[in-house]
Structure 1
């Protein structure tokens, strides 16, 4: 069964981490085994080959570049223009991968339907993987003119904030509202038929954004606060509001969001019993709140700044996402339920949005 992964930082791995995702994963791990500059070196799980082996034929792939003001201790660029330039380097890489036929960019409904047919029927062992372009954190949007340029090159979803305070909203581990700039961004996004990704919004920004924005919403990679009590997760009240708005929530495979009180550098996935079963718990929690299986999918975030040291112990590569099917079947989920979770629920949103382009 094909999987649509709603959140992969492919260009970050290529441009920031200097990974050639066309290479074999063992080769990449061996190349990085002595590097200490970033966490997760030598423990990566995502390559194009691993995606193909896991039948992950379509993903939402990000651009990401944070602008930080002088008082912000988080790493990032010192001006919005620098952040924009970095996203353009990431875009250039996506374009090169399209030329190399590793990837296919999906910008409208015709593209989407054509790719789904191609993925189902092609016998090529190196099929081009489809991607829809998303922006994680909107700090790189220097102006609304830049937003329009981004839409022209295929941007279809935006998460206004990432970690900390941002230009347009407040993100994880911070507190604040969307302000005038956030309202302007959201209003323009709605006019342009872009998807609002509420992932990473702090509680105040979350509620203010949904009050302003009346377009299509999803949460590409979010788990449940009822299971791990941290502001990075969504409360049941937030999840119910997303369900009411016909959104889909993609469960995320970062173990600190799967296990209560995870301690980085102390816990291991094995010692914390952080297996895929905890992801099934999050899927089931959302389904129980909704009363159906139509509002949850997969937004793995694998290799989103971490590797096997902070991924479920039963994940070696992203291909192992296919293990979720059997685990859901053990919980009583039907084939139709699982198809929705694997691809259909996020496809429903993409078809609705991309029909407008």
Structure 2
């Protein structure tokens, strides 16, 4: 598949490899067939992401996560029972990324020279895309696994360049999705340390109170890696118009996500069917349109798909069977009246501009 270079700012690759036990170096059909008779998770046999499909879709740069939530006593959420256990899981995930680097499947991007060198490789048409490594920027989704703030510095040495304070439910550094309340004292202190390292703060999953508190306290680069619009899907997980305007003022970029419940308020996890509700890729453009109208331009929307983030085709737009189908947005955006410059902004330009500005310091 020939197409435009794409940046996807949110993929839980290592979680899929370690906790789902998926060999992401294999073709997508092989991964699905391997899971044919597995019933432990609802998305078995329905995955959409693997390294060959990333290359096929010219998705040459991703923000790839470490994710391990601490679950306190009494919580119904899945998670680890101590911060140390959560830390150990993130280190297993890091080890997987290192193994992918050793195989030449991936390459870690940590700074501006590394970014520019990787982009030059992907622009080199004499090398087939199938032979190019997928670049990844390491991000921590929820900070629970940082046993204390000194672990942030250890993670930075390992290449961590972006982090969010929270995930779902109660968090050690901040409450997250479906919660209320401000950052914890540890969270406030963590922001100070992140700022000293010029790390990127990901505001995804923060409560409304935590969102505004974080923007007030944090002076470094800010993005929302995978967020949609609350005016269209009125749940706390999505961004209000005022929050969007605040992010635009900070020159942030907002990654649109392809989990159906974040695209269409009618969708209910494990109940609804994307085909029956006719949830298509184009519906994400409705969210992008809304943000573009508020911003007055196309410079603040991009892709943060969250594909295979504990869901597969059963919870993705029905016209998307693989992450390579992100290339369909070229034609979809064109039909919706977006100029080529705007399309390029959304597919890669906005994330690249953000990273160049953040890392120029």
| Structure 1 residue 210 corresponds to structure 2 residue 210 | no
Paired position in structure 2 for 1:33: 36
Paired position in structure 1 for 2:225: 220
Looking at structure 1, the residues matched to 353 and 106 of structure 2 have their Cα atoms a distance apart, in angstroms, of 22
**C-alpha root-mean-square deviation of aligned residues, in Å?**
0.9
> What's the secondary structure of 1:283's corresponding residue?
helix
Gaps of 5+ in 1: none
| Structure 1 residue 19 corresponds to structure 2 residue 22 | yes
Note if contact 2:144-2:173 (Cα within 8 Å) is conserved in structure 1: yes
Paired position in structure 2 for 1:252: 257
Q: After the TM superposition, which of the residue ranges 120-129 and 85-94 deviates more from structure 2?
A: 120-129
Paired position in structure 2 for 1:163: 168
Match of 1:264 among 239, 252, 269: 269
How far 1:277 sits from its partner (Å)? 1.3
Note if contact 1:107-1:354 (Cα within 8 Å) is conserved in structure 2: no
Paired position in structure 1 for 2:127: 123
TM-score of the aligned structures, taking structure 2 as reference length: 0.97
Looking at structure 1, the residues matched to 267 and 216 of structure 2 have their Cα atoms a distance apart, in angstroms, of 33
Match of 2:70 among 67, 70, 78: 67
Looking at structure 1, the residues matched to 131 and 274 of structure 2 have their Cα atoms a distance apart, in angstroms, of 32
Q: After the TM superposition, which of the residue ranges 93-102 and 32-41 deviates more from structure 2?
A: 32-41
Paired position in structure 2 for 1:295: 300
Looking at structure 2, the residues matched to 301 and 39 of structure 1 have their Cα atoms a distance apart, in angstroms, of 16
How far 1:54 sits from its partner (Å)? 0.4
Match of 1:181 among 148, 168, 186: 186
Aligned residues: 356
> What's the secondary structure of 1:278's corresponding residue?
helix
How far 1:145 sits from its partner (Å)? 1.2
Q: After the TM superposition, which of the residue ranges 176-185 and 290-299 deviates more from structure 2?
A: 176-185
Paired position in structure 2 for 1:108: 111
Paired position in structure 1 for 2:326: 321
Give a deviation string over 1:315-347, Cα, whole Å, max 9, x none.
Answer: 010000000111111111111111111111111
Looking at structure 1, the residues matched to 58 and 142 of structure 2 have their Cα atoms a distance apart, in angstroms, of 28
TM-score of the aligned structures, taking structure 1 as reference length: 0.98
How far 1:143 sits from its partner (Å)? 1.3
Note if contact 1:158-1:196 (Cα within 8 Å) is conserved in structure 2: yes
| Structure 1 residue 81 corresponds to structure 2 residue 69 | no
Gaps of 5+ in 2: none
